[in-house]
Structure 1
C-alpha cells in the first residue's frame, strides 16, 4: 500500500499537497476510493481512502493506530565523517535500520574535512535522503541529521547516557552493554582510520564504553550498519 507522511491531519481528513500529491496522481495514477497509509511523523499511522484528487489529494481517515515498525530503543548514531559520498549511504541505511538521529563528527583520522558553515549546505541533501528512506522503510517518525560536532562535543553529549564507542582493537560485546530494558543508546563509529588512542582514552574517561564489532576490520560504511544491528538484536527488536 502506498505510504506518505503528512502533518495536515484533521480528525477525519488528511490533505496531501506538493510533490506527494503529484506522485499520487501522475506517477501512481491512483483513483478515488483507493487506499493509502499516512503517518503523522510522530508515530501514528492513518489508514485512508482517496476522497478527492486534484492539485491536492484529500483523504478520508478510516482508522488510525500506533506505528508498529519503530524500534523499542532510541538510537543516536555519532558518525565520524567519511570521505566522498559514503555518508549518503550511511544515512540511508541507518534510517532503514531504525536510527533516531545521526550526528556527524570530526575525529583525528577523518580524511574528509568540513566546517560547520560549509556542512550546513549538505544537510538539505542528507535530510532528503532521510525522508525518502523513512517513507520507503515504513518508519513512524522522520529521523534527523544534525550539524557537525567535534569528537569532544559528541562525547560530552553522550557521557551521562548509555553510550558505546565501537573500537577496532576490541571491546565488550554489545549484548553486555544493552538489553531489552535499554530505552536509549548512543553509538560512536569512526571514519576510515578509526579512532586514535587519545580519543579512546578521552571517551573512556567520560564514561563511554568500548564495544566490539567482531574480529574483522570493517569498512567505515559497514561498521554503523553492524553496530545498529547489534543494538537492535540485543534490545530484542530484531
Structure 2
C-alpha cells in the first residue's frame, strides 16, 4: 500500500499536494475510495482513504492510527567516517532500510575524502533526499536525518553525552555485538572508520569516552559493508529482524 509522510499528525482529514499529490494523481493514478497509509514521522501510521482529487491536490480521510510496525525498538545512530567516491550514498540508503535512526558523517584522521564546506552542503542535501526515499520504500515510521559532518573528537563527545551502548568497530579486535546489545537495549551508537580504518590514537580516545572497541568477526570488511553488517547484527540480537 502506498505510504506518504506528513509534517504533523493529521486530524480527521489530510491534504496531500505538491510532489506527493502529483505522484498520487499522475504516477500512481489513484482514485477516490482507494486506501493509502500516512505517517507523522514520529512512529505512528494512519490508515486513510482518498476522498477527493482536485488536480494535484488529494484529500485523504483518516480512518484510524497505529504504531508503525516497521520501526525498531532500538534507536541506533551511525557515525560513519567519510569514504571515497559515492560510497556514502549506499551507506545512507541501506542503513535507513535496516532501521538506523540517524546518520552522522565523520571526519577522522585517515579520511581521504575531505570535501570543502560548499561540497558538503550539497552532499548533505542529497544524503537527506536519499534517506527520505529509503524510508518511504522500506515503510519506516520516521525520516532518519543525516546530520552535518563532525570531526571525530566532537562525534565521540556527542555519543558519550547521549548515553546508551556505544561501539567502535575496529579491525584490531574487540567485543562481539551480542555481548553489548540485547532485546532490552533501547539506544546505541556505532562508529565505522574510513578505508584506512581508525588510527590507534582514535580508538584510545573513544575508549576514554566510554566507547567500546567491537568486532565484526575475523574478516576485514569494506567501509561501506561494515555499517550494514553491524546494523543487521544489532537489529537481529535486539529482536528487530
Structure 2 residue ranges without an equivalent (≥5): none
Tell me which of 218, 224, 232 is aligned to 2:235. Answer: 232
1:1-21 Cα shifts (integer Å, max 9, x gaps): 111111365421011111111
Aligned to 1:45, the other structure's residue is in SS state strand
Tell me which of 179, 184, 190 is aligned to 2:187. Answer: 184
Q: Is the 8 A contact 1:92 1:129 kept in 2?
A: yes
Aligned to 1:236, the other structure's residue is in SS state coil
- 1:118 positional shift: 3.6
- List aligned pairs for 1:73-152, cutoff 5 A: 73-152=74-153
Q: Is the 8 A contact 1:115 1:148 kept in 2?
A: no
Q: Is the 8 A contact 2:36 2:49 kept in 1?
A: yes
Q: Is the 8 A contact 1:71 1:237 kept in 2?
A: yes
- 1:116 positional shift: 4.5
The TM-score normalised by the length of structure 2 is: 0.95
Structure 1 residue ranges without an equivalent (≥5): none
Two-structure CA RMSD over aligned residues (Å): 1.2
Equivalent-residue separation in structure 1 for 2:8 and 2:151 (angstroms): 37
Equivalent-residue separation in structure 1 for 2:99 and 2:227 (angstroms): 12
Q: Is the 8 A contact 2:107 2:149 kept in 1?
A: yes
Task: Evaluate the alpha carbon distance shift between residue 221 and residue 88 of structure 1 in structure 2; reply closer, same or farther with a 3 A threshold.
Answer: same
Deviates more, 1:2-11 or 1:176-185: 2-11
Q: Is the 8 A contact 2:103 2:145 kept in 1?
A: yes
Alignment partner, residue 222 of structure 1: 225
Equivalent-residue separation in structure 1 for 2:218 and 2:125 (angstroms): 36
Alignment partner, residue 175 of structure 2: 172
1:162-213 Cα shifts (integer Å, max 9, x gaps): 2000001211000111211111000000111110111111111221101101
1:32-74 Cα shifts (integer Å, max 9, x gaps): 1001111111111111111011221000111211111111111
The TM-score normalised by the length of structure 1 is: 0.97
Alignment partner, residue 22 of structure 1: 22
Alignment partner, residue 155 of structure 1: 156
Runs of 4+ in 1 over 3 A off after TM superposition: 115-118
Q: Is the 8 A contact 2:8 2:41 kept in 1?
A: no
Equivalent-residue separation in structure 2 for 1:134 and 1:230 (angstroms): 20
Aligned to 2:48, the other structure's residue is in SS state strand
Equivalent-residue separation in structure 2 for 1:236 and 1:6 (angstroms): 28
